[in-house]
Structure 1
Amino acid sequence: MAEVLDRPTTHTGRTRRQRLTTRLRSARTDTVVALGYLALAVTVLSGQWRHPGSGYLIKSGQDQTMWEWFFAVTAHSVAHLENPLGTNLQNFPDGVNMMANTAMFGVGVPLTPVTLLFGPTVTFVLVLTLGLSGTAFAWYRLFSRELVESKPAAAVGGLFCGFAPAMISHANAHPNFVALALLPVIAQLIIRVARRERARLRDVFGLGLLVAAQIALGEEPLLIFALAFGLFALVYHLPSPRAGLHAVRTALRTLVPAALITMALTVIPLWWQFFGPQSYRSIDHGPMGNDLKALFQFPSESLGGLLLHGQNVAINPTEENAYFGWPLLLLVAVTVAFLWRDRVVRAAAAVIAVFTLLSLGSTLVIGKDDTGIELPWHRLESVPLLNTVLESRLTMAAIPAIAAILAVATQRAANRWRDAPVDWRPLGWFAALTLALLPLTPTILPVVQRPATPAFFTDGTVRQYVSGGSVVIAPPPTPPDARALRWQADSGFEFPLAGGYFVGPTGTDRKGHYGPDNRPTATLLIKAQQTGTVPVITTADQQQALDDLRYWRADVVVLPPTDKADVLRATVDQLLGISARQVDGVWLWDVRGLA
């Protein structure tokens, strides 16, 4: 395949009319492929599209609420000409560092009109839909221009890149790991500048802008891509190191000035992320490696998963980052053996092997049983930047590598079929490819109907009880229950919230963690709701409640319809020494005179 990667991009010996006809035919094929990807993405997310106002992707946990809030608060900041990099609308009064929370300004800012007109849920599902289809098409375009001549072969590769099990899993909740279309565009530009003897100003600015834009979409996918692309290039050029060094020197003429442009465009946001208010140094997420069984099983949201799901070994439903299924892994292994002389296949195989091994974490886990066998990630997990990566996500680097192998093999089979129509071996490949990919066909992501926002927040009543302070929900929102973020957004951000769902610093070492440092009163209310028992309230508890209300600068405490509401109401009554009033569907305590 080296000949394919190095094939000339000029069209010699053809008339202008022939070139135009070829381009039109190619554009028509590209359009059909793009529409096919888009149709599949809409189908996968059709449950949410049918109910954009009330639907909720149930497997997202509270992440959909969090992302909708990110998009909503970004639009609010843009519309009010406020700094979008930070906000105190949740976790009041400390606030939230939005750059340190992957707020995806790369889509949140340009889609501000969509968010303001149709709401953040539409923005959320639109980003997911275009993310799946756009990522698939961008890889298809790279494969068809730089790897294979057959558009159907490239389409197979693009299909897997856009709709691999990890992509469908993240489509439940994580648009930053779904909207990956810029990565293959960056790869294609680097490949092309490595061929040129002179750096072009257009390429320098283009690459600088593309990387800056990807930083605004998601830094973790960019880091994983950069490491995988570097490994691919290294292994690809091992047989011809001189050519590899020449390609590196040539590319650096563009890469270095492009990096300076990227730094100039992102220096302020990145400074804010790492050194601004509510920034943190690292985040301790604990062991997050793939279980070995996750490599061979079928994903839950697939045809194969409906019939043979196997043991549930995923971190959670949104992190099924492997789940390639044993038929596909077997097919890839056999294909690599047959096409080992192909440099692209060898390089792709290296990426698959290395990143899959790293994704298993520090120790080997099989069926949720830790074997204690130490793995390479043990020595890498404390490396700066890598220490913020969920190691199970490293298998996402294997997705385009597998896709490249499938595209190359499909091209070979198509060529053989064209040259020898009676040869049965191409039919064997197409049958094996179908059997490997069919079980991974994604199903429609499940959606439930969420309760309507209490009228207290949507009809303006809340404004009567807020005088520059915060609203304290009983109990304040946390990562396990972040519904209040939606209520705040539905009110038009009429008030700041105590607590929330975000990543922020804790302690003197400024390590990142999910959610606020719970005040004692918040902890007491959470425990009361969990146990269903009104605790014994002491004078110290009452004093602590007043101290916490002053810390939150609370104007009103609100108890919306929720589980164990009677227990919570009785607890707050005793803590504050005043009785709740029912207003517009919620119970509330006006604490402006107390706090």
Structure 2
Amino acid sequence: MKIRQFIQIITALIVYIAIAFIYFAIPFISKSASLSSSYVGGGIDPTQYIWSFEWIKYCVLHFKNPFVTNKMWEPYGYNLTGSTSVIGLAFLALPLTFYIGAAASYNIVMILLPALASFTAFILLRHITKSFFPSLAGGYIFGFSTYMLNQSTSHMHLNSVFLIPLMVYLLLIEYENIKNIKNIKNIKYGKNSVFIVIALFAVMLIFQFLFSLEIFADFTFFGAIFFIILYAVNPDDFRNKAFLLLKYIVSAYIAALVVLSPFIYYFAVGGYSDVISFAPADYSSNLLNFFIPSVNNLLGGHFFAGLSKTFDYRDYVFDQDAYIGIPLLYLIIIFFRKNFDRKIIKALFYFFITVIVFSLGPTLHIGKYSIMPLPYKPFIVVPLIKHALPSRFMLFAFLVVAIITALYLKSDARISDARISASAGSFRSGLSKYMLFFAGIFFLAPSSGYILHNYTNTHIPTFFKNNAYKKFIKKNENILIIPYGYNGLSLFYQAATGMYFKTASGYLGATPAYFSRYPIVHSFYKARRIPYMKKELYNFLSDTGTKTVIIVPDFNRNKKMFYLSLFGLLNEKPLYYKGVYIYNVPKKVNKYS
């Protein structure tokens, strides 16, 4: 590697990390948030990943099976293979977790993930364009896209995508090597170069699988679609060259699945049943969202807030991922119009349109109106991919936008089919290419509210700090924490104690059937009275072997009074200690009282 190229690579990495710190780390730098008691993002979902980081650390220290835990939903335990437990990412972050703890490790990794995605996209684009600034620009478009910014508010597993550009980069290099070989019959699987390609691709597949099963399935799905398009656009070249690359890919998948067979086994015997199924139509891109920003965007976010709320009935901003903005849409149109005669660009165009259409889901939505069925509708019953949520397909659309942006800004080369080292040519549309690009990133930029407030302060009670809990809870004792499950931060508290206790609750997906069958569980969630409440409470506590109830009073007065009244049925006076109410469950709970 030349010194100049090395300097460019390091410069790109530094630039992306600096941008990531501006977008995500200001609350921590300004000390509005603490690395150990706050977390990047909102809601409860991030506690799943913090818990996963601590869980993998616990498994390494105690030689435990990482795919099944007895630390939640005790005494039944929980199969993690159907959850969003980011096992692979937690494994890679182990040194950081050992050194600074799970919460701080999560925060640093979450801040860096968009920068890593930008950087790996830069590596891909640097190979394509042979030019620094266009590649730097394209890398930004991918790593700090609407998709990445929105998912950074809650979903680490969906932000763990830095391997996607690297896998494309590896396949592109091998495709070019195959095209330069005159007689492909001379290529053998035993050759070192072929083995290395298959091995590297398999390793990346394994880690992407362990980062996010959803992203792995989406990558496989759209990868297959791209090869179909490539065959349709250039069948002769596909048969002669690309088909051999496809053989390598299949070999890598087989190798990866063999290595992943323990995970797949646990998924088949239990994890699959715990996968949460959402209606694809509820998590699809709204057609207006391609032009209208969400509230997370600086330009027009608040102005269009009333309209963007109609994009889905839940008003989940983190799935309003389709916003590309007028400048970049204009750039895309210009690029394809000028270069559509090139076969590889034609394939890229058809792939881009396919991703966009599929991201719209099974039904076209414009604002709050459902218009008509769409081509994705048959796929909502296809195994594995049926659990994917269409709005998240925009990840792959933004990778295409990044490639197009880099090619558009690279104006001193010709496009070739052998290598996409290309340019959009010289456009005389009244706007300079870089002005159009900077307008594009300005349209995508996050709002000041997003930058300053995309974090959650847990206000962790002192009870869970400095070993105070050990005075009341024995090691590996099963306890019940209120707020319950997805209503509260029980996973965060458990991780903060180093998995000291077990819980008769959890949140890494849906409530398991063996817990939801207890009527009292619904009272825990909804703070509502049910018939025979004392009997149901005793029945639950007896069956689960719960020894202690901890109430963290971080809800309104009515709910607080309900829970104090509910657990007052234990005929035990609660102790208020270091920010929590503590109930000792009587040793002999009569389950039929």
- What amino acid is aligned across from residue 199 of structure 2 in structure 1? F
Within a 5 Å distance, the mapping from 1:274-293 to structure 2 comes to 274-276=268-270, 278-280=271-273, 283-286=276-279, 287-293=282-288
Match of 1:259?
253
* 8 Å CA contact retained: 1:465, 1:555: no
* 1:593 and 2:587 aligned: yes
Match of 2:380?
381
Deviation of 1:114 after TM superposition, in Å, equals 1.6
* 8 Å CA contact retained: 2:42, 2:456: no
1:568 to 1:488, Cα distance in 2 relative to 1, 3 A: farther
Match of 2:21?
42
- What amino acid is aligned across from residue 222 of structure 2 in structure 1? A
Cα deviation 1:269-314 (Å, max 9, x = unaligned) = 12112324x5417532123212221121124333224464442225
Match of 1:105?
87
1:448 to 1:29, Cα distance in 2 relative to 1, 3 A: closer
* 1:499 and 2:482 aligned: no
Measure, in 2, the Cα distance between the counterparts of 1:127 and 1:449.
16
* 8 Å CA contact retained: 2:286, 2:364: yes
Which of 428, 435, 440 is the aligned partner of 2:439? 435
* Bigger shift: residues 279-288 or 430-439: 279-288
Measure, in 1, the Cα distance between the counterparts of 2:462 and 2:195.
56
Cα deviation 1:76-106 (Å, max 9, x = unaligned) = 2222221111112122222222222132222
Deviation of 1:238 after TM superposition, in Å, equals 3.7
Match of 1:337?
337
Deviation of 1:177 after TM superposition, in Å, equals 1.9
Deviation of 1:107 after TM superposition, in Å, equals 2.1
Match of 2:220?
226
* 8 Å CA contact retained: 1:351, 1:397: no
* Bigger shift: residues 443-452 or 313-322: 443-452
Within a 5 Å distance, the mapping from 1:409-428 to structure 2 comes to 409-412=408-411, 428=432
1:321 to 1:424, Cα distance in 2 relative to 1, 3 A: closer
* 8 Å CA contact retained: 1:60, 1:173: yes
* 1:192 and 2:173 aligned: yes
Which of 61, 67, 73 is the aligned partner of 1:79? 61
1:31 to 1:457, Cα distance in 2 relative to 1, 3 A: closer
1:381 to 1:451, Cα distance in 2 relative to 1, 3 A: closer
* 8 Å CA contact retained: 2:478, 2:547: yes
**SS of the residue aligned with 1:303?**
coil
Which of 36, 49, 60 is the aligned partner of 1:53? 36
Measure, in 2, the Cα distance between the counterparts of 1:459 and 1:125.
21
Measure, in 2, the Cα distance between the counterparts of 1:351 and 1:320.
21
Cα deviation 1:494-531 (Å, max 9, x = unaligned) = 211112211257559xxxxxxx62732232244437xx
RMSD over aligned Cα atoms: 2.8
1:193 to 1:527, Cα distance in 2 relative to 1, 3 A: closer
Q: TM-score, normalised by structure 2?
A: 0.85
**SS of the residue aligned with 2:485?**
coil
Measure, in 2, the Cα distance between the counterparts of 1:253 and 1:325.
38
Measure, in 2, the Cα distance between the counterparts of 1:239 and 1:360.
24
* 8 Å CA contact retained: 1:208, 1:258: yes
1:570 to 1:211, Cα distance in 2 relative to 1, 3 A: closer
1:172 to 1:542, Cα distance in 2 relative to 1, 3 A: same
* Bigger shift: residues 105-114 or 570-579: 570-579
* 8 Å CA contact retained: 2:461, 2:580: yes
Within a 5 Å distance, the mapping from 1:61-72 to structure 2 comes to 61-72=43-54
Which of 463, 469, 477 is the aligned partner of 1:462? 469
* 1:549 and 2:541 aligned: yes
1:292 to 1:422, Cα distance in 2 relative to 1, 3 A: closer
Cα deviation 1:327-386 (Å, max 9, x = unaligned) = 322331232222211333322221221111111122222212223x11122211011011
For structure 1, the residue ranges without an aligned partner over 5 or more in a row are: 1-19, 509-515, 530-534
- What amino acid is aligned across from residue 436 of structure 1 in structure 2? G
Query: What is the percentage of aligned positions where both structures have the same residue?
Result: 20
1:383 to 1:423, Cα distance in 2 relative to 1, 3 A: closer
Measure, in 1, the Cα distance between the counterparts of 2:472 and 2:517.
24
**SS of the residue aligned with 2:112?**
helix
Deviation of 1:217 after TM superposition, in Å, equals 1.5
Match of 1:298?
293
* 8 Å CA contact retained: 1:49, 1:125: no
* Bigger shift: residues 564-573 or 157-166: 564-573
Match of 1:31?
10
Measure, in 2, the Cα distance between the counterparts of 1:580 and 1:353.
61
**SS of the residue aligned with 1:376?**
coil
1:101 to 1:282, Cα distance in 2 relative to 1, 3 A: closer
Measure, in 2, the Cα distance between the counterparts of 1:385 and 1:343.
32
Q: TM-score, normalised by structure 1?
A: 0.85
- What amino acid is aligned across from residue 457 of structure 1 in structure 2? F
**SS of the residue aligned with 1:381?**
helix
Which of 183, 195, 214 is the aligned partner of 2:208? 214
Which of 123, 127, 137 is the aligned partner of 1:156? 137
Cα deviation 1:164-203 (Å, max 9, x = unaligned) = 1111111122222222121122122222333334242222
Which of 531, 536, 553 is the aligned partner of 1:561? 553
1:136 to 1:359, Cα distance in 2 relative to 1, 3 A: same
* 8 Å CA contact retained: 1:569, 1:580: no
**SS of the residue aligned with 1:172?**
coil
Which of 232, 243, 265 is the aligned partner of 1:271? 265
Cα deviation 1:381-437 (Å, max 9, x = unaligned) = 011011110111112221111111112221137889xx9x99966963332222223
* 8 Å CA contact retained: 1:358, 1:377: yes
Measure, in 2, the Cα distance between the counterparts of 1:369 and 1:568.
40
* 8 Å CA contact retained: 1:69, 1:489: yes
Which of 143, 146, 157 is the aligned partner of 1:165? 146
1:261 to 1:129, Cα distance in 2 relative to 1, 3 A: same
**SS of the residue aligned with 1:318?**
helix
* 8 Å CA contact retained: 1:413, 1:426: no
- What amino acid is aligned across from residue 405 of structure 1 in structure 2? I
Deviation of 1:161 after TM superposition, in Å, equals 0.9
For structure 2, the residue ranges without an aligned partner over 5 or more in a row are: 179-183, 416-422
Match of 1:512?
none
**SS of the residue aligned with 1:92?**
coil
Measure, in 2, the Cα distance between the counterparts of 1:448 and 1:253.
45
Match of 1:13?
none
* 1:116 and 2:98 aligned: yes
Measure, in 2, the Cα distance between the counterparts of 1:526 and 1:504.
13
* 1:132 and 2:114 aligned: yes
* 8 Å CA contact retained: 2:83, 2:275: no
Match of 1:471?
479
* Bigger shift: residues 244-253 or 457-466: 457-466
- What amino acid is aligned across from residue 557 of structure 1 in structure 2? V
Cα deviation 1:103-153 (Å, max 9, x = unaligned) = 2222212322322321222221222233211111111111221x2232222
Measure, in 1, the Cα distance between the counterparts of 2:394 and 2:92.
30
Within a 5 Å distance, the mapping from 1:309-388 to structure 2 comes to 309-310=304-305, 311=307, 312=309, 313=311, 315-371=315-371, 373-388=372-387
- What amino acid is aligned across from residue 52 of structure 1 in structure 2? L
1:386 to 1:109, Cα distance in 2 relative to 1, 3 A: same
* 8 Å CA contact retained: 2:71, 2:503: yes
